[in-house]
Each structure stands twice: as C-alpha cells, then as structure tokens.
C-alpha cells in the first residue's frame, strides 16, 4: 500500500513547502474513492512563485556554471532512478495506468530525458557569422550570436503521462538556464509533487523549480496572463491550448502547444499483418487510450479489412481491465468519472451514427472509472472518427488505394502522428511525406526518445519538444556585432 501521509501536498515555492489558502480533493480512479487533498494555488500564490523563480534566475541559478547545471540534472535523474518504483506507484494510483507500464516505460522516459539534456547544459553555443559589415561595409564587423535563456518558464502538464511529459519541458528548460514553474493537472499531481521533493534533495538552488498544484481555470490562467513569465509550455487539450494562446498574448509570451490528436494507422495490403494488428492494438489500448498519439483511426486496405477487424476484436477481448496494481491487469481505469462519461457519450454517438460495434462498447458496472476496450467499424466522417475521444476506442475504416488512404488520413483537424504499416520501402517514404503530421512511424510507433523532436501540426499544436529543437525552444538568439 502506498503511504501518502508523508507526501508534501502543498505548494513548492522558493525551495520551501507552503500550505495553500485553498485546496481540492482528488479521487482514486480504480475505486472512485477520495485519494488526496491538495493545495490549490491562487493568483497571489502564482505571483509568489514568479517572484521566487525570477530571483533564482537573476541570482544563484543564473550564476551557476553550465556544467554544474548539467550535474544537477544528472543528480535528479539518479534520484528518480532510485525512487522509480515509488514514482511509478504514485502515478498509477493517481491516473490509473497499470503500474508495470509506469515502471518500465514512463519513469525511464523521464530519466532518459533528464540525462540527455544534462549532457546539453554545457554545449549550448552561438555561432560566429561572417557578414558584409555596416550597410555593406567597408569596415569589417565581428559578429556572433549568443543563445540565452528566456527567463521564467511555466510548464502546464496534463494527467495522462505527468512525469514523462513534464520531463520534456523541465529538462531542456533547466539545461538552457531558465527557471521553471510547474502546474500539474488537477487529476494527477502526486508523482510531480514527489518529484519536487527530489528536486529539493538534488540541491537545485531555491526557486529554480517551483510546483503549483491547482486548477486550470485559476492557477493555469494566472500563469498564462502573468507578465513575469516568458514562455508557457503547455500539453493538453486543443480547447485549453486556444485559451492559453489568447491569455498569453498580452505580453507576447512564447507558447509551445502540444495538443490533441486523432492518429491514423494505415495498414496496407503488403504489411506484416500480425505485427500491424498487434501494433495497432497497442496504439489503441496503451494507457487506456489516453494518449495524444493514440492510433484511433485504423485505415485498413479493403483486402485486409476483415482480418484487421477480427484481429483487433481478439486484441480488445484479450485485454484484462482491473486494478492498476494487479499484475494481470493490462488496462486500468480512465482518470476520472468525467472522462469515463465523456467516452461513454462518444460510444452512444457512434451507435447513433451507425458505427458497427465489433468489441466492447460500454462501461462495466463496477466501482471505478472503467470503460471496455472498444473497436468500431464505420467511415471517416463519423464523429467517433473525427473527434479525439481520449479513451480505449478505435474505429476501423476501409480504403482501396494509396491516394484514398492519404486523403482519409489527412481528413481530420488534427495532425500529431501517424503510423504506416507496409513492406514496400518506396510506399513507406512516399506516404510519410504526404501525411500531415508531426511524426510518422513506419512499421512501429514513434519511440518518443529524447533525441527525437515531437509535436504536431494543424489543431495538434505549435512548436516542437525534445532533441536539439528543445534547446532552440528554451533559448533566445542575441546577435552581437563589433565594428573592427
Ligand atoms: P486539459 O487541457 O484539460 O488540461 C491540461 C492542463 O491544462 C492541466 O494542467 C489543466 O489544469 C490546465 N488548464 C486547464 N484549463 C486551463 C486554462 N484555461 N489555462 C491554463 N491552464 C489550464 O487537458 P487534459 O484533459 O489534462 O489532457 C488531455 C489532453 O491532452 C488531450 O487532448 C490530449 O490529446 C492532450 N495531450 C497532448 C499531448 C501531446 O504531446 N500533443 C500529450 C498528452 C496529452
């Protein structure tokens, strides 16, 4: 049993834990019972966090040598590794993912990201640029660029993969010399609160990282409008992304928006069908389908359509839904009653619009926020094929030609990721160039490795995280010229 009594559940500001003026209750998704009472940051407390982060940026953290910043990121990675099982348990308890997946995939992803950007901390360079001099010369000008940190950065994080997604923001922001204010999601803050304790233990100067649990409408909005914050890095729904963009326009904040998705998985007639079906099922059901890149539109060539339907039906029926801490469980509950009800609404809409039910289709009558793994057959114009459901629900749509597959894949407001299943190398590269998405996986999922840029196009967002793009995203270019 996880002991929450020793976990700090207030606000982490300026290196200290403070009680918040207000609080909110979170619930255990596997039982529906109250889980924790967390501090709920208000606008005044947001101001205090911005002050602390600004002081650290101008003070101790800003003055720290780049290599020392890298050492601290590595130290944090070591502590996360030491407490991996505890962090995995906290996150699974909070949001419902089977704990084995948290321990094997999500927390290691955070460790990898911290280590990757620890290596960057003392390798962030500008460049020397040859130029024509003032108004074309003749005096030569020595010119170079500096890559400078932005200042105070806010990271607003969703509940579906709190620590992994936070790592994509926190690690590059710190490596580049920024200070950070984190706003975890209401429904899953516990693992991030524990991370804050590890940040203190690692020895980051006070105020370098601040954590404000709280409500999106209160703490999130206060961060978005705050003039002292130079960048908002947000991952969450498209609707909230729009609100953040509007609210942050006041002081021309940089915004990085990682939003929703409705990823197509295109299975061609020449694909290794067994691997494609297995991969498609993972893309549908991993993390209860609460994945921005979830492959919820399975586009199957008509010659393999029946086999794909049969394979996915088998895969859905083989899922074991239950307690995230039971080792037999492959799919846990959805994060909240609200999310479960939202998914059930979509299932009703699918039935109303004539989608054929292949497997699943309802919420089991048991405590907790469970939904059956569901496979539908239908066409791409249905609501269930167009909107992000964010649950274990996929729709299979047939196609007859490569052109039709691409047209169907692109016939959606989102453009985060896609997978292409084919053994034809030429087709794989051609189709990868034609699909409107930020990431394409051929014969497998994009690995979400720290070296690889991640982000969407269209309504899936603006900007990229990870890789060298992560460094560019957290630095400003300054040009310095010296007339010689
Ligand atoms: P959400 O937009 O409801 O909340 C995300 C975060 O934003 C939370 O911390 C929330 O408190 C905060 N927030 C809410 N309203 C706010 C406001 N007005 N101003 C500032 N902050 C506010 O999203 P969610 O339900 O937590 O997450 C699910 C969504 O996230 C899905 O749409 C999913 O596709 C998306 N997502 C995208 C990626 C990606 O990499 N593109 C990854 C994971 C999840």
Give pTM, 2 decimals: 0.97
**Per-residue pLDDT for 134 more than 90?**
no
| Catalytic residue status for 258 | yes
Mean pLDDT score, 461-473: 98
Please list every protein residue whose CB sits less than 6 Å from any atom of ligand 1: 156-160, 165, 183, 185-186, 216-217, 220-221, 224, 235-237, 240, 243-244, 258-261, 292, 388, 390, 416, 456, 460-461
Mean pLDDT score, 382-411: 98
d(C-alpha 49, C-alpha 208), whole Å: 10
Mean pLDDT score, 355-383: 97
Mean pLDDT score, 225-242: 97
pLDDT at res. 117: 98
Q: Residue 156 Cα, ligand 1 centroid: separation in angstroms?
A: 8
Protein residue with least CA distance to atom 18, ligand 1: 217
Mean pLDDT of the chain: 97
pLDDT at res. 1: 66
pLDDT at res. 446: 86
Q: Which two tokens stand for residue 348?
A: 């009703």
In the chain, % helix, strand, coil (3-state, to 5) comes to: 40, 20, 35
Confidence of residue 360 (pLDDT cuts 50, 70, 90): very high
**Per-residue pLDDT for 483 more than 70?**
yes
**Per-residue pLDDT for 136 more than 80?**
no
In the chain, what percentage of residues exceed pLDDT 90?
96
C-alpha distances in Å from residue 7, one per residue of 186, 244, 245, 312: 16, 30, 33, 41
Q: Which two tokens stand for residue 480?
A: 């310095």
Query: Quick one: angle between helices 162-175 and 107-120, nearest 10?
Result: 10
Burial class (CB in 10 A: 0-12, 13-18, 19+), 390: buried
Report yes or no for ipTM above 0.85. Answer: yes
pLDDT at res. 452: 98
Q: Which numbered atom of ligand 1 lies nearest the CA of 465?
A: 40
pLDDT tens digit sequence for 417-439: 999 999 999 999 999 999 999 99
pLDDT at res. 137: 72
Three-point CA angle 42, 47, 48, nearest 5°: 100
Q: Residue 236 Cα, ligand 1 centroid: separation in angstroms?
A: 2
Confidence of residue 133 (pLDDT cuts 50, 70, 90): confident
Q: Residue 455 Cα, ligand 1 centroid: separation in angstroms?
A: 14
User: Residue 200 contacts by C-beta under 8 Å, 6 or more apart in sequence?
Assistant: 12, 15
**Per-residue pLDDT for 388 more than 90?**
yes
**Per-residue pLDDT for 138 more than 80?**
no
């Amino acid at each position: 049993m996880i002991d929450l009594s020793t976990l700090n559940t207030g606000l982490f500001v300026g290196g200290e834990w403070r009680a918040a003026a207000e609080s909110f209750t979170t619930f255990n998704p596997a039982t529906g019972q109250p889980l924790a009472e967390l501090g709920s940051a208000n606008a005044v407390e947001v101001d205090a966090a911005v002050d602390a982060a600004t002081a650290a940026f101008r003070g101790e953290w800003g003055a720290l040598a780049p290599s020392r910043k890298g050492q601290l990121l590595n130290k944090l990675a070591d502590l996360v590794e030491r407490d991996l099982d505890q962090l995995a348990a906290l996150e699974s308890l909070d949001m419902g993912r089977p704990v084995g997946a948290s321990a094997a995939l999500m927390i290691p992803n955070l460790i990898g990201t911290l280590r990757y950007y620890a290596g960057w901390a003392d390798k962030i360079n500008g460049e020397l640029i040859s130029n024509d001099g003032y108004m074309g010369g003749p005096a030569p000008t020595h010119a170079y660029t500096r890559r400078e940190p932005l200042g105070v950065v806010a990271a607003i994080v969703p509940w579906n993969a709190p620590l992994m997604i936070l790592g994509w923001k926190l690690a590059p922001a710190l490596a580049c010399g920024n200070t950070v204010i984190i706003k975890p999601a209401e429904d899953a803050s516990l693992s991030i609160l524990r991370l804050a304790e590890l940040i203190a233990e690692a020895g980051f100067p006070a105020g370098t990282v601040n954590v404000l649990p709280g409500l999106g409408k209160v703490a999130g909005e206060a961060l978005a409008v705050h003039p002292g914050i130079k960048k908002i890095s947000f991952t969450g729904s498209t609707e909230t992304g729009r609100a953040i963009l509007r609210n942050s326009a006041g002081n021309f904040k940089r915004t990085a928006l990682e939003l929703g998705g409705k990823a197509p998985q295109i299975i061609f007639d020449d694909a290794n069908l067994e691997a494609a079906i297995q991969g498609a099922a993972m893309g549908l059901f991993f993390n209860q389908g609460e994945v921005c890149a979830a492959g919820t539109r399975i586009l199957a060539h008509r010659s393999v359509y029946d086999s794909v339907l049969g394979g996915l039906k088998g895969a859905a029926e083989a899922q074991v839904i239950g307690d995230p801490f039971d080792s037999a469980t492959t799919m846990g509950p959805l994060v909240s009653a609200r999310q479960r009800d939202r998914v059930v609404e979509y299932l009703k809409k699918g039935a109303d619009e004539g989608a054929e039910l292949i497997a699943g289709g309802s919420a089991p009558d048991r405590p907790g926020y469970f939904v059956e793994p569901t496979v539908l057959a239908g066409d791409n114009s249905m609501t269930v094929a167009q909107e992000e459901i964010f649950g274990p629900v996929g729709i299979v749509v047939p196609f007859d030609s490569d052109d039709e597959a691409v047209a169907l894949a692109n016939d959606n407001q989102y453009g985060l990721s896609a997978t292409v299943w084919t053994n034809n190398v030429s087709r794989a590269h051609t189709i990868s160039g034609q699909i409107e998405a930020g990431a394409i996986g051929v014969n497998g999922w994009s690995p979400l490795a720290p070296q690889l840029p991640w982000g969407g196009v269209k309504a899936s967002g603006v900007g990229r995280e990870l890789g060298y793009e992560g460094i560019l995203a957290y630095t400003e270019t300054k040009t310095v010229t010296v007339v010689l």
